Amino acid sequence: MENLLEIKDLTYKKNHKTILENINLQLQPGKIVALLGENGAGKTTLMRIIASMAKNYQGEVTVAGRSSEAERKEHLSFTDGLTGFSGSTKINEIVHFYEVIYQDFNSEQFEQLRSFMKLDLGMRLSQMSKGMREKLIIALTFSRKTDLYLLDEPFSGIDAMARKKIINSILLWKEDQATILISDHFVNEIETTLDEIVIIKNKTIYTHKSADDIRAKNISVETYYESLYQGEEE
């Protein structure tokens, strides 16, 4: 099967500091993959590079066979923080922007997700809590019909009950052949949805494993992940 995402020999430096080094990664279509690592490991940076938001890296990144930054953007949806909109912007204005900018934006799907998230179209960004903004970002992200979804800490401000409902619904919101790469601290909550895990450690891909291979050893993904750091704090 042809890979949906391919990263070859990727190194990224910022202010003369190496953030990521010699990253090689291949993801196939139709997978849900957790991107794990300690705070500061480079997870967000890697997602921003894939999404063509962080530049001046060495190496090659390909999404759906496209390597140019402009073409990659057409084949992925990234949970950005809506930083380009002022606090006075209403949800319906953001939706209109997405409809104009993204040809793959599905307004009917957004309406279903908006209703599921209990969001008011007339609400302004400045009126929204962190959790409500995150629900809006998730709704916008999954309203695009695309190949790769990049979810960067999407649930940190959402309460536990709503978070569980959203996680259980994610499979319904994506196309069968679409892949989700999700970075999240709630490993135990997303574990049942996972096909694979990728762990960034020491600036590179420390391991890339099938979640089923881990479960076959009668341990949880979270336990396996935590075991990689045991003894390091002593």
Which pair of structure tokens corresponds to residue 156? 């940190």
What torsion do the CA atoms of 21, 197, 35, 56 make, to the nearest 10 degrees?
30
What tokens appear for 122 in the block?
């007339």
Residue type, 4: L
Can you state the percent helix, strand and coil of the chain, rounding each to 5?
35, 25, 35
Q: Tell me the whole-structure pTM to 2 decimals.
A: 0.93
Q: Give residue 234's pLDDT.
A: 45
Q: In terms of C-beta distances under 8 Å and separation of at least 24 residues, what long-range contacts does 50-56 make, across chains too?
A: 50/5, 50/7, 50/76, 50/148, 50/150, 50/181, 51/76, 51/78, 51/80, 51/150, 53/78, 53/80, 54/12, 56/12
CB 151 within 8 A of CB 184: yes
Report domain extents, the chain: 1-75+148-157+181-234
Q: CATH class for domain 1-75+148-157+181-234?
A: alpha beta
Render each residue's pLDDT in the chain as its tens digit; 234 residues. Answer: 689 999 999 999 998 899 999 999 999 999 999 999 988 899 999 999 999 999 899 999 999 999 998 899 999 999 988 888 999 999 999 999 999 999 999 999 999 999 999 999 999 999 999 999 999 999 999 999 999 999 999 988 899 889 999 998 988 898 889 999 999 888 888 998 999 999 999 999 999 999 999 999 999 999 998 888 876 654
**Are 135 and 119 spatial neighbours (Cβ–Cβ below 8 Å)?**
yes
Q: Is 212 helix (H, G, I), strand (E, B) or coil?
A: helix
